[in-house]
């Protein structure tokens, strides 16, 4: 009998060094599933959304998904949920690897960190034992070293470590939490909240697998879904061969590959930095897969100096590449490894560098501010590694950049040069070339983001069907569907990439096979909608008004190059329809009635 | 009537801010010619060789060559002579560009800087006027900006600037003096002595050309020599097409291209960093020539970020490339530009980085010493730019590296890992692959150096004739000849590269045509020998004993790879014969009798 709908919660009071065990079951699990959904529900119920993200009143929630640690294909993901320091919205960030599954195995499905430790600590989960231990000797150390030292101290080389680096300790607004060294809960600055709590790491090793589920009943479905994943062009061929960097050439020829802080949408040097180049130039050593994953899109990469790590992902390669006008693959991979070791989101880091370059080139930043660092000019590969480090360490000009592109640009008197939504940096797709994706950007509950409604799939890749990227009709429905579906996937603990090949029915089927639930596809999607509304409501209560459902002014200017030359963003034309579809008020707020319907009030 | 044998000297007392004009003529000029020779004679006569290089008692001498500023092909060179902080020997460093000719035009053939200014100053030479001016506003600024600001202040865009960057100010032991931004009096740390005197720059613009010489009589010889230079394979084809970087492939296939701090002698990635790659990858914008030069070997280079400069030369590309195991051309060019702007010798900088990499990889340097900088591992292109900057600014671990590889390695308990002679870093040729060149290394009067007796020419390039690089017989004669001939070329103000095509007779002919002198080839070569002996005597009196005529232990080990696998250095077998040929004592000291013969006592 599966007990998967009953969650074991570890409540860790860092201020008083008290650890309690609780359970969550019933409606909450049925309505919010796990991972992103359940974690958000806990956060919404337990904190005041108006508090400062770095105050001890904020909570940091690690949450395994409903199927995390089961036999489900790609079922190894966990989520970190908190109030975010970069956006002021609810923040949640998802990571793969093996840590999430191990957490589940250990019988700790959810961890709620509260308060603030007096001095650096880490949480050790060894079999049944949960202990806070001194981490003073690890403070200041990078992710790679911290991971090695903790595994050594733990005394079991199979232990899994999730930790922050110097960026998190230094409250860099977009610091990440890293596990297995190179896997990141990358976005929204969850690592900075962890740093603000003086919490360096969580180390876990189960003694016996404490996750119970209907394994035999699942296996038939898992085999079918694995076969589907293996046979699909994207999950069976493109991603295994080139990783997410299969996209460089695709998005560039589509005409939505931002260059020089989104001033252009094509990059003539894409061949020097593409996924293909990563192979041809000898950086790629092989593929890496996460727990239970048949896709294995991870890149095992090696620099000429022998340094090894994972990446770069498409977004990372672009952020340190075209976004900064840089075509030096070596520098890009180095910046990627630096972010992993220092614990920092690659997208926000790269976009902030590109923003600083435009600010400097336009005269908003004085050369003196660089002190003795290199000039931030587009194309300067040296700047990319140099300021990545400076940001994480908050040294020199990096201290200003560590606040993110919005606060940096605002301080320099030109906030509109920050390519962000709700102060979080945009990823690697110009919204003028993918109009539905633009609507997704402005309505994402965690600010500028591509993985909360990946409209690139239908608008560019033609999966599950090809949509005209400039057509507006029907886009609000698609965006809503993708957003709600993604909320489901993030909550059941599977990887978003499965959605290239699997559909809503598949997710309902695998959940039903492994648990006692018996969702229709519509019911499980309604859970997604509920989660989406909960997040939105958190943000509204936090003071993030619907006026922030907007793109920077730049996108109202026509694109100067590429396929969509002369075209501007059109999200405003479909935003009212989107609100309506969502059942929200015309002003973008959610009525009490809608909240009641969703069971949120 | 030419008056070129009469030198106008400007004596600048920095301590008391007094400037005097003097003349040098007669035997001194006849015996020491100008440039390196005459400057060394002045230094030897005026300072105690045992003083500290940074004491105010040291002098810094700018000296134009005998033919500098005349019609002689490549006749635009000047020399800076001082006691060197890196080696403790007499130090002198040669630079091209246009500054030297302008200095001569202005009627200031030699400048002797004495003492130490109370606060930063620069010397302004405008027509007849010589003034010391406040340079406080320039202190801390890079070479590029300093040059621009001074030209602006001077009020004549044709003014020429020779200055130091932050490296010189920070007394980096291998700081350079730069003119026209990218031309360097690079080696031996002359820039640090300039910094120790609080002297930031010399700016010069002549009102009318004050150099008098037999121009009409010279022109016939100049035309002949220019034709010879243009028709020669090296000076007419190789150097114009690829610059000195024509050598990467040649020296690598010869098996003397040092990699990873001279642990190996071949580099499998040479194609990624060669002169050919510089062209193919689009860095090269065109050629640049110095004053009066028909060769034009300078590389006008542009980075993808639009930054423009000169270089890299062969030695520079190698020092930041193969010496550090780095194959990233972008990083190499950036490190080159950094050295130009910060005012630092590229060879010593790169070799010191490579040395630090070996020290770290072998466990002599603790990771903690890098503070938050990248790990110094072979192949780390990030380290190359990062620590180049840190050295110049003496920040973090760069502060230790700024002392040069010898003092760094010695402080870490393993001085033998410094690839240097007399504490100056070796250039890009493994002496085990060119035995005569090894003898030249150990007997160079300014420590590890290739341009004081470039045996690569006969031993590898076959110019003027091909010598077996492993043959020892006859090599002492060749080394002596090249050393004495080079002393002549450096003293008459022509470029060493002319010696690929021109011979001793040509140099005598052009000197005789332009001046009142009437040297036989033998007589002018005897001047070279005199200069060489003077330098040696300075060093002996400074306490640099003949025991320092040696290579690091590494070269007694057999080469592990390439054509000369299994072969060690053999300089010891021919050093006694070299001493004997020089007329020196068996112990390497110079007898009083020899000094008398040379007119040095």
Mutate to test the interface with B, among A170, A381, A395 (most CBs of B within 10 A): A381
A4: pLDDT confidence band, cut at 50, 70 and 90? low
Residues 6+ apart with CB under 8 A from A430: A255, A256, A257, A258, A262, A265, A555, A559, A564
What interface predicted TM-score (ipTM) does this complex get? 0.71
> Which position has the higher pLDDT, B443 or A1?
B443
pLDDT digits (tens, 9 = 90+) for B152-200: 999 999 999 999 999 999 999 999 999 999 999 999 999 999 999 999 9
B461 pLDDT exceeds 90?
yes
Q: Lowest-pLDDT range, A131-145, A294-308, A556-570?
A: A294-308
Distance from CA of B361 to the nearest CA of A (A): 12
Q: What is the 3-state secondary structure (H, E, C) of A139-165?
A: CCCCHHHHHHHHHHHHCCCCCEEEECC
pLDDT tens for each residue of A231-279? 999 999 999 988 999 999 999 999 999 999 999 999 999 999 999 999 9
- Say if B387 is an interface residue toward chain A (CB within 8 Å): no
pLDDT of residue A369: 96
pLDDT beyond 60 at B295 = yes
The pLDDT confidence band at residue A341, using thresholds 50, 70 and 90, is: very high
Distance (Å) from the alpha carbon of A382 to chain B's nearest alpha carbon? 7
- pLDDT tops 70 at residue B3: no
Residue B20: is it exposed, middle or buried by C-beta count within 10 angstroms (0-12/13-18/19+)?
Answer: exposed
Residue B218 tokens, joined: 């010279």
Does residue B144 have a pLDDT over 60?
A: yes
What mean pLDDT is reported for chain A?
96
How confident is residue A210, by pLDDT bands cut at 50, 70 and 90? confident
User: pLDDT by residue (tens digit) across B205-223?
Assistant: 999 888 888 899 899 999 9
Average pLDDT, rounded, for chain B: 96
Say whether A305 and B385 touch across the interface (CB within 8 A): no
Rg (CA), chain A: 22
pLDDT of residue B2: 39
Rounded Cα distance between A85 and A191, Å, is 10
Distance between A69 CA and the closest CA of chain B, angstroms: 36
Confidence band of A3 (pLDDT split at 50, 70, 90): low
- Does residue A208 have a pLDDT over 90? no
Helix A404-411 / helix A346-361 crossing angle, nearest 10 deg: 20
SS3 category, A403: coil
| B52 C-beta neighbours (distance < 10 Å), count | 12
Residue A1: pLDDT above 80?
no
Q: Which two tokens stand for residue B225?
A: 């020599």
As a whole number, mean pLDDT of residues A565-582 equals 97
Instruction: Using a CB–CB cutoff of 8 Å, tell me whether B305 touches chain A.
Output: yes
Our measurement of the distance from residue A560's CA atom to the centroid of its chain's CA atoms, rounded to an integer in Å, reads 30
Q: What is the 3-state secondary structure (H, E, C) of A168-190?
A: HHCCCCCECEEECCCEEECCCCH
Give per-residue pLDDT as tens, B63-109. 999 999 999 999 999 999 999 999 999 999 999 999 999 999 999 99
Name the CA radius of gyration of chain B, rounded.
22
The reported pTM is 0.84
pLDDT value at B1 more than 60? no
pLDDT for position B306: 84
On the question of pLDDT at B238 being above 70, the answer is: yes
CB contact under 8 A, A372 and B395: yes
Model pLDDT, residue B466? 95
- Percent of chain B exceeding pLDDT 90 equals 93
Say which residue the tokens 């053999």 belong to. B570
Alpha helices, H only, A304-380:
314-320, 329-342, 346-361
Residues across chain B: 601
| Mean pLDDT, residues B420-434 | 98
pLDDT at A5: 74
Distance (Å, whole) CA A279 – CA A298: 13
Q: How far is A15 from chain B (nearest CA, A)?
A: 30
Q: Strand pairing of B78-83 and B60-64?
A: antiparallel
pLDDT of residue A327: 95
Q: Is A372 helix (H, G, I), strand (E, B) or coil?
A: coil
Distance (Å, rounded) from C-alpha A484 to C-alpha A535? Answer: 12
What's the average model confidence in pLDDT over A290-300?
Answer: 94
pLDDT average, residue stretch B356-360: 98
Residue A72 to residue A68: CA distance in whole angstroms: 8
Tell whether the model's pLDDT for residue A429 goes beyond 60.
yes
B414-425 confidence digits (pLDDT tens) = 999 999 999 999
Interface of B with A in 284-303 (CB under 8 A): 303
In whole angstroms, give the CA distance from residue B179 to residue B202.
9
Give kind and range of the element (H or E) at residue B590: none
């Amino acid at each position: 009998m599966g007990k998967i709908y009953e969650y074991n919660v570890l409540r860790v009071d860092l201020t008083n060094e008290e650890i309690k065990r609780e359970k969550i079951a019933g409606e909450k699990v049925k309505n919010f599933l796990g991972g992103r959904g359940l974690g958000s529900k806990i956060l919404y119920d337990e904190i005041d959304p108006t508090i400062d993200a770095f105050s001890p009143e904020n909570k940091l929630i690690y949450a395994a998904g409903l199927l995390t640690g089961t036999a489900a294909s790609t079922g190894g993901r966990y989520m970190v949920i908190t109030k975010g320091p970069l956006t002021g919205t609810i923040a949640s960030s998802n990571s793969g690897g093996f840590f999430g599954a191990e957490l589940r195995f250990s019988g700790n499905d959810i961890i709620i960190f509260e308060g603030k430790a007096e001095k650096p600590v880490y949480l050790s989960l060894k079999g049944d034992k949960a202990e806070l231990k001194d981490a003073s000797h690890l403070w200041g150390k990078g992710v790679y070293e911290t991971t090695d030292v903790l595994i050594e101290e733990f005394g079991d080389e199979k232990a899994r470590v999730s930790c922050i680096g110097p960026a998190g300790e230094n409250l860099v607004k977009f610091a990440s939490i890293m596990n297995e060294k190179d896997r990141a809960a990358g976005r929204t600055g969850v690592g900075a909240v962890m740093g603000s709590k003086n919490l360096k790491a969580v180390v876990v090793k189960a003694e016996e697998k404490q996750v119970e589920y209907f394994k035999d009943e699942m296996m038939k479905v898992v085999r079918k879904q694995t076969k589907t994943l293996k046979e699909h062009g994207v999950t069976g061929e493109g991603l295994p061969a080139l990783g997410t960097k299969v996209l460089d050439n695709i998005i560039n020829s589509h005409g939505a590959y931002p260059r020089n802080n989104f001033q252009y949408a094509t990059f003539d040097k894409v061949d020097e930095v593409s996924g293909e180049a990563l192979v041809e130039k000898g950086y790629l050593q092989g593929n890496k897969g996460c727990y239970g994953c048949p896709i294995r899109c991870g890149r095992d990469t090696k620099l000429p100096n022998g340094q090894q790590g994972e990446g770069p992902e498409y977004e990372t390669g672009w952020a340190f590449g075209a976004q900064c006008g840089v075509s030096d693959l070596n520098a890009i991979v180095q910046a990627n490894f630096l972010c992993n070791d220092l614990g920092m989101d690659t997208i926000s880091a790269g976009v902030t560098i590109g923003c600083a370059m435009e600010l400097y080139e336009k005269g908003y930043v004085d050369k003196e501010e660089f002190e003795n660092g290199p000039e931030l000019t587009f194309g300067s590969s040296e700047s990319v590694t140099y300021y990545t480090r400076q940001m994480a360490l908050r040294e020199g000009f990096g201290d200003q950049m560590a606040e993110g592109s919005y606060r940096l640009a605002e301080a320099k008197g030109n906030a509109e040069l920050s390519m962000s939504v709700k102060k979080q940096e945009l990823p690697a797709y110009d919204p003028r070339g993918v109009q539905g994706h633009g609507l997704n950007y402005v309505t994402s509950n965690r600010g500028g983001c591509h993985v909360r409604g990946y409209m690139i799939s239908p608008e560019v890749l033609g999966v599950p069907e090809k949509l005209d990227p400039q057509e507006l009709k029907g886009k609000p429905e698609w965006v809503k569907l993708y957003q709600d579906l993604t909320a489901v996937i993030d909550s059941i603990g599977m990887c978003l990439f499965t959605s290239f090949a699997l559909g809503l029915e598949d997710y309902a089927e695998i959940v039903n096979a492994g648990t006692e639930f018996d969702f229709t596809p519509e019911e499980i999607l309604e859970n997604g909608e509920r989660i989406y509304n909960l997040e939105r409501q958190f943000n509204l209560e936090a003071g993030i008004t619907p006026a922030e459902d907007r793109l920077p002014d730049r996108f109202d200017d026509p694109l100067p190059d590429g396929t969509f030359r002369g075209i501007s963003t059109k999200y405003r034309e479909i935003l009212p329809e989107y609100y309506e579809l969502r059942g929200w008020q015309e002003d973008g707020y959610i009525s009490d009635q809608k909240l009641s319907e969703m069971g949120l009030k």
